Amino acid sequence: MSELEIQLPNLSEQSTQEISVMRGQIFACTNKTERECLERMLFSTNKVHANKTLRTKKGDYLFLLNFDSDTLYGVFRARSDGKKDIVHEAWGGKYPYQVEVEKDGEIKIVKKAKKLLSRFGISWIAPLDETRTKLLLSYFGYLKESTWGSLIPAITVIKDKQQSSTGTLAVGMEEEKPQIEATTLWDYPRQSYGKKPKGDNKYPGVTPAFIIYNLVQRYTEPGDLVLDPMAGSGTTIDVCKEEGRKVIAYDISPTRPDIIQNDARNIPLPENSVDMIFIDSPYGDNVRYNDHPDDIGKISSEIEKFYDELEKVMGECHRVLKPCKVLGWLIGDQWVKKKFTPVGFKVYQRLCKYFDTLDVVCVVRRSQTSNTSLWYNRARRFNFYLRGFKYLFIMRKTPPNALAPRERKIQWARYPRVKHSKTNQ
């Protein structure tokens, strides 16, 4: 292997060299896992980055980034399409999404790789589009030197795009993808991400696609079946299709042909048959979705009947969900005509009759119609609060024969308190 120094090319150089369409991927490893990658000639990811691996096609250009040593190896080619469990026992099963690779010429090493990638506007997470693939190939001396010149304008465009990013997304890549959330406060600048729309952002009460993306990534595997019994404009369908999940979507009043007309209180699926359910149900009668008499969104959340009807939906979800699998239920509270209704708590109470709680997430509300200075002024003048968040209840179907809860022994990490000086107190 030979080492390359970071040296950016001469900006005045220009070339008209034609390079055919190229796709690339950077796979990551650490000092611990690098050897196995190179000995087995197998690159891999865990479930979080499964899609990146599954999108890898035989013949793609590949690079290997060692995070610990900050080193990039190249150039490799994919010898197979990306798949699950090509070598089941590799890395002790920790990185099951794998692709077989082969060297393409002598393997070269780039040190200070993270700096280089950042200069090129490349994140290892996203697939490399043609421009980025060419940039890296040129850098590794794979393409003729003169190719550099023609690629310089592309670097500038990539960098400009990055500067205008929100920070929420891996941008400037072939496709934007949301980040996997790490905390229980989720806040999204817009309804959708990526090039293709997800759902219809004009639909009343449309769900932020980011929420469904996060649930799908965390709680399902590619190929799993996701159900949305109240699919509205079909955001769940669009997210699932893009992420390689199967999906069934129902609504009492379908808005598109891939949504099946059905009442969520009676789901026509066998028991234990779906891998995840997402529901963004009506929050009461505050939104007019359609004219169907069985729309639960015609019942006020101030009366118990609303919760009784939603409980029928919960019972059906519990029946069709496989044991240990997850249901995500999005709901918001109501404050109308000086009366507060804790819709979230009431729905949660009912959910707890059927499911265990995995977690409760707060989703910041941004794009509702009351998000105007007029309403903000009213809230202050007339002494009420606008709804600032929704709840996302992440529930799990209890495994069969679950043991009674036992007392858990927890070893807390305790850190010494910082002593404040008097002036700081």
Residue 222 CB burial class (10 angstroms; 0-12, 13-18, ≥19) = middle
* Least distance in angstroms from the C-beta of 63 to ligand SAM: 37
Which of residues 205, 284, 328, 344 is near ligand SAM by CB under 6 A? 205
Identify the helix (H) or strand (E) that includes residue 110.
Answer: strand 97-110
Tell me, residue by residue from 154 to 193, as one string, x for binding to ligand SAM by CB under 6 A and - for no binding: ----------------------------------------
Backbone φ/ψ region at 205: left (φ over 0), alpha (ψ -120 to 50), beta:
left
Rounded to whole angstroms, how far apart are CA atoms 245 and 277?
A: 12
The number of angstroms, rounded, from the C-alpha of 417 to the middle of its chain's C-alpha atoms is 37
Query: Which residue's CB atom is positioned nearest to ligand SAM?
Result: 232
Q: Which is nearer to ligand SAM, 74 or 229 (CB)?
A: 229
Which of residues 282, 284, 328, 332 is near ligand SAM by CB under 6 A? 282
Tell me, residue by residue from 29 to 68, as one string, x for binding to ligand SAM by CB under 6 A and - for no binding: ----------------------------------------
Using CB under 6 A as the binding rule, whether residue 147 contacts ligand SAM is answered as: no
Segment 209-238, which members bind ligand SAM (CB under 6 A)?
229-233, 235
* Least distance in angstroms from the C-beta of 28 to ligand SAM: 33
Identify the helix (H) or strand (E) that includes residue 139.
Answer: helix 130-139
DSSP-derived 3-state class of residue 379: helix
The two beta strands, 42-45 and 71-78, are: unpaired
* Least distance in angstroms from the C-beta of 162 to ligand SAM: 29
Q: 3-state SS of 22-61?
A: CCEEEEEECHHHHHHHHHHCEEEECHHHHHHHHCCCCCCE
Which of residues 168, 253, 273, 286 is near ligand SAM by CB under 6 A? 253
Of 52-60, 102-110, 290-298, 331-339, which segment contacts ligand SAM by CB under 6 A?
290-298
335, β-bridge pairs:
340
Using CB under 6 A as the binding rule, whether residue 151 contacts ligand SAM is answered as: no
Rounded to whole angstroms, how far apart are CA atoms 270 and 273?
A: 6
The two beta strands, 97-110 and 71-78, are: antiparallel
* Least distance in angstroms from the C-beta of 397 to ligand SAM: 20
Long-range contacts of 297-305 (CB under 8 A, 24+ apart): 301/334, 301/341, 301/343, 301/346, 302/334, 302/339, 302/341
* Least distance in angstroms from the C-beta of 43 to ligand SAM: 36
Of 68-76, 288-296, 371-379, 405-413, which segment contacts ligand SAM by CB under 6 A?
288-296
Using CB under 6 A as the binding rule, whether residue 344 contacts ligand SAM is answered as: no
Catalog residues that contact ligand SAM under the rule CB under 6 A: 199, 203, 205-207, 229-233, 235, 250-253, 263-265, 280-282, 289-290, 294-297
